[in-house]
Amino acid sequence: MKIALCQINYHIGNFDYNVAQVIKSLKQAREDGADLAVFAELSISGYPPRDFLDFNDFINRCEFAVSLIAAECIDIAAIIGAPVFNKTGKGKRLFNAALFLNNGRIEQVAHKALLPNYDIFDEYRYFEPGRDFHVINFKSERIALTICEDLWNVGAEQLYTFSPMEKLETQHPTLMINIAASPFNASQAETRRSVLKENVAIYEIPLLYVNHVGAQTELLFDGGSSVLASDGSIAAELAYFDEDYLIIDSDALKTGKYSENKSDYSRIQLIHDALIMGIRNYFSKLGFNKAILGLSGGIDSAVVLVLAARALGPENVWGVLLPSRFSSEHSVSDAIELSENLGTAHEIISIEEPFSSIQNVLSDLFRDLPFGLAEENMQARTRAVILMALSNKFGHILLNTSNKSEAAVGYGTLYGDMCGGLSVIGDVYKTDVFELARFINKDGTVIPENIINKPPSAELRPDQKDSDSLPEYDLLDQVLYQYIEAFKGPDEIVALGFDKTLVARILRLVNLNEYKRHQTPPILRISSKAFGMGRRMPIVAKYLG
């Protein structure tokens, strides 16, 4: 049987667009001789629809969209994901469903049974878990149809008490199909391959896996839809970070021998490509195409400028240099050189006059108090006022350039350098920002070497360096990773060889600055635990504070 894998970039709630893309792929699959076309989890609505699912109107529109696609399923069948009403009278009002469409109608429905409720997932908030499992008899295959998490209850640590495939196996399936919305993080591709391979090893039948691709605000979907033969080899892997389409012969997957056919990305290339896709989709799905950002001459704003230029085109990116009395000559010249290398527009606006004006306004109240944090933050907020004024006047979206290390310990100014419409590298540790810069320069100098090599500095007071206030980033990032991503407490981190006083200081800073992170822009997620919707912490807690 010939099966088309259709990897599409959907748009949440944009039913006309989603239906048009599905029907376009469906028609192409039929022309190419496919018997079945497979689309991703909740492809009708886009993923994650979140509280749109509470609106009957939203679900009714999903149903209407399904009817339009079903009408096209003549001489070809389709599997597609959509939310559907739970008509049993018990439990939550919706199911997360995979619909088998054939002969112009819905012929069979599979309900997602394992509903993730951790990190960025909150599916049990909306959906009732499926409890009935039936293979789909279609042409020469008995299809075990599952949805994303339904295949993930494998390995040593299992979150659920059963696996849907255990139920379906008793019905002697000949083929597994899994439709998914599996968000990206830098290690997810390898984890996903391991999970898919383990399922094939257990059930000894081929597996077709179709994933989302594209960005939905902070969540990035990398695609990588896959075909696994019955011997566990990856017979094919679709594109990463782009739409793709493939027709395979299911019979060949049971008899042929395949060498591994998978994408070979380095970790830093995955992050680079994911961030570019995230910026591009955030702008396109909101209907914007112009970006603005503050260029400091430092590595963070340099990397964000490059990523934005590659995502939107250099003609659509505007870098604004906002020097103060503490800015070095190199900061300005380095930023100009970077902008010229990229072909982006740039502007130089000194903040000396507005900063001095604010100082004068407050001089009677500040009296003879020494220059300190208040004056440093006034500079950052002055820059933010200018950048937001330009954003409002010309319709550009302001890109935030704070990194994860800074966000973790509160090394940033609320309503200053922490403002913006999108945080591009807010989930990228400072050490990885340096790696991104080196990756960007792998084929020639884009970011001036002086930007990469000079000690990081906020340049808000004379001779300031980040290391005056923070541990060196190589050390800081290791401790942050153990606390944020690995969930290790202070004693466990100290046991890894880190200084006890240093660990206590870093963890205290992380927890004390939760209030700042609650007020930041959406952060593009590239790690397994990003600040934002996936890390939910109380602000007024005393733990390690």
User: What is the set of active-site residues?
Assistant: 41, 112, 148
Residue in this structure with the two tokens 């042409």, named with its chain if needed: 139
Residue in this structure with the two tokens 């006083």, named with its chain if needed: 501
Q: Given the DSSP bridges, would you call strands 94-102 and 36-38 parallel, antiparallel or unpaired?
A: unpaired
Residue in this structure with the two tokens 């810069």, named with its chain if needed: 437
DSSP string, 255-278: H-----------HHHHHHHHHHHH
Residue 532 per-residue DSSP state? B
- Contact status, residue 217 vs residue 198, Cβ threshold 8 Å: no
In which region does residue 101 sit, left (phi positive, over 0), alpha (psi from -120 to 50) or beta (all else)? beta
CA 481, CA 477: separation in Å to the nearest integer? 6
CA atoms within 13 A on the CB side of 334: 24
- Taking alpha carbons only, the member of 154, 115, 155, 107 closest to residue 131 is 115
Length of the chain, please? 545
CA 422, CA 523: separation in Å to the nearest integer? 6
- Contact status, residue 326 vs residue 460, Cβ threshold 8 Å: yes
First and final CA of the chain: distance in angstroms?
60
Residue in this structure with the two tokens 């396109």, named with its chain if needed: 284
CA 472, CA 475: separation in Å to the nearest integer? 6
505 phi/psi in degrees, rounded to 5? -65, -45
- Contact status, residue 109 vs residue 97, Cβ threshold 8 Å: yes
